[in-house]
Amino acid sequence: MRLARCHNHHDFRRLAKQRLPAPLFHYIDGGADDEVTLRRNTQAFDDVDLVPNVLAGVGDVDLSTEVLGQRLRLPLFFSPTAMQRLFHQDGERAVAKAAEEFGTFFGISTIGTRSIEEMGGFSAPKLFQIYVHKDTALNADLIARCKAANFNALALTVDTVVAGNRERDLVTGMTTPPKLTLASLLSFAMHPSWTLAYLAGERFELPNVSRYVKQGSDVSSSIASYIHEQFRTDINWDDAAKMIQDWGGPFALKGIMSVADAKMAVQVGASAIMVSNHGGRQLDGSRAPFDQLADIADAVGGYIEIILDGGIRRGTHVLKALAMGATACSGGRMYLYALAGGGTEGVRRATMLLREEMQRNMMLMGCSSLAELNRSMLSRRGGGT
C-alpha cells in the first residue's frame, strides 16, 4: 500500500496497519470492551439518508463556518489526540501544518508529544485539550502556558475520569513510552522503519506534563495506569465553571452526550460542546454522537455551538451532522491513520480528500453554503428525521 493509492479512510487504515507495530496500530484502532460503540459511531450515519435538491444553480461552494471565535475555511477540524509522535515522528507538527494549509483548527492534548510553546508558533487556530490532574499546580500551569502561547480556545475533556476497558491495549502491551515485551518484540522487529526512526529520533516525552509527572516520559506506563494515577475522578460542574472563568476565552466541554448536560454547559458559560464519546474508547454500549445530535440541537441550538465529534469518515457524514444541527465537526481517527501512514503528506492528503468530498457533495445536494443545509434534506430510514 502506498500513500498515493489511498483514496479513503479504509485505505489510510490499511497503510497505517502496514507501517505501525501492533501495539501502536491497535491503540489508534481500538475501543472499549466489545467495541460496540466504536462501530456504532460511524454506522449511525448510515441510518439517515440525504435528500438532495436539484436545478439549484450552484456555482461556487462556501464551506466556511465560525466556531470558538475563529472563522474556519472548513466545517471540520482536527480533534486533539494523545501521543502523536508514536505514530510518526512528525507528530503534532504534521497536523498543525495541514490546519494552516486548509484553514481550520488543530487540537493538542495535555498528554501530547509536542509542547504548548512549540505548537503556539503555528498560525492556524489552536485548541488545547485539558485533562484535570490531581496536581492543581499542573492544571494552573497548563492554562497559563496556553495563554502565553496564544492558544485560541480551551477544551475540557469530561468523559475520562477513569480509563475505559481497552482490551486491545492489554493484549498488545501498549505503553508510553513503548517498551519491548515478549508480546510486542516480534511486531517491533517486523516494522524496522518505524523502530529505527523511533530509536534514532529525538527523545520521547510528554512535554506538557513532564515538569510535574515522570510517568509516561521517564517512566513507562500503560494509558490506563496513567489515567488512574494522575487524573481526578471527582471533577464536577463547579470545577468546569471555574476553569471557564480562569481561561476567560472560547471554551468547549468535550464529552457531552446528554440533553441535561448540554443544558448545564450553557448554564456554566461554555462557548461550545463537543458531542463525543471519546471515539468509543470509554463507555461501551453508549450512544453514538450522531444519534444524540438532534435532541441536543433541539434543546440548546442557538444558545451554544455544537461540535459533532466521532465517527466522521466521509464528507457526507459532515453534511449530515450540519443538516442535523451541528455547527462544525471534528475527529481523530480521520487523520491519525493518515499521520501513521504518511506523516505530514498523509494528513494533507486525507484532509484534501475530505474537503473535495464536501465540496462535491454540497453541489450534489444543491447547496452553495453550509447555512442552506437543514433537516428537510435528511430522511431517517423507517421514517422521520
The answer to the question of residue 381 being in a domain is no
Given this model, what pLDDT does residue 73 score?
98
Does pLDDT of 383 surpass 70? no
Question: Quick one: pLDDT band at residue 384, thresholds 50, 70, 90?
Answer: low
Q: Pick 220 or 370 by higher pLDDT.
A: 370
Does pLDDT of 217 surpass 90? no
Dmax (CA) of the chain: 62
Given this model, what pLDDT does residue 30 score?
97
Q: What is the mean pLDDT of residues 272-290?
A: 97
The answer to the question of residue 379 being in a domain is no
Q: Are 272 and 77 in contact (CB under 8 A)?
A: no
Given this model, what pLDDT does residue 182 score?
66
Provide the domain limits for residue 225.
3-369
Given this model, what pLDDT does residue 232 score?
92
The answer to the question of residue 180 being in a domain is yes
278 catalytic residue (yes or no) = yes
The answer to the question of residue 332 being in a domain is yes
Given this model, what pLDDT does residue 183 score?
67
Q: What is the mean pLDDT of residues 350-368?
A: 97
Task: Please identify which of the residues 9, 26, 88, 278 carries the catalytic annotation.
Answer: 278
Q: Torsions phi, psi of 274, nearest 5? A: -105, 105
Q: What is the mean pLDDT of residues 312-329?
A: 98
Given this model, what pLDDT does residue 105 score?
97
The answer to the question of residue 383 being in a domain is no
134-154: pLDDT as tens digits: 999 999 999 999 999 999 999
3-40: pLDDT as tens digits: 999 999 999 999 999 999 999 999 999 999 999 999 99
Given this model, what pLDDT does residue 385 score?
58
The answer to the question of residue 377 being in a domain is no
The answer to the question of residue 384 being in a domain is no
Question: Quick one: pLDDT band at residue 57, thresholds 50, 70, 90?
Answer: confident
Total domains, the chain: 1
Does pLDDT of 181 surpass 80? no
Does pLDDT of 187 surpass 60? yes
Return the percentage of the chain with pLDDT > 90, whole number: 85
The answer to the question of residue 94 being in a domain is yes
Return the percentage of the chain with pLDDT > 70, whole number: 98
Could you tell me which of 264, 251, 367, 247 has the C-alpha nearest to residue 305? 251
Question: Quick one: pLDDT band at residue 186, thresholds 50, 70, 90?
Answer: confident
Q: What is the mean pLDDT of residues 247-264?
A: 98
Long-range contacts of range 225-231, CB-CB < 8 Å, 24 or more positions apart? 226/111, 226/176, 227/160, 227/162, 227/163, 228/162, 228/163, 230/133, 230/134, 230/135, 231/131, 231/132, 231/133, 231/134, 231/160, 231/161, 231/162
Q: What is the mean pLDDT of residues 355-381?
A: 96
- We report the CATH number of the domain holding residue 363 as 3.20.20.70
CA distance 172 to 162: 20
Q: What is the mean pLDDT of residues 337-361?
A: 97
Give me the helices (H) in 248-288, please: 259-267
Q: Average per-residue pLDDT in the chain?
A: 95
Q: What is the mean pLDDT of residues 260-273?
A: 98
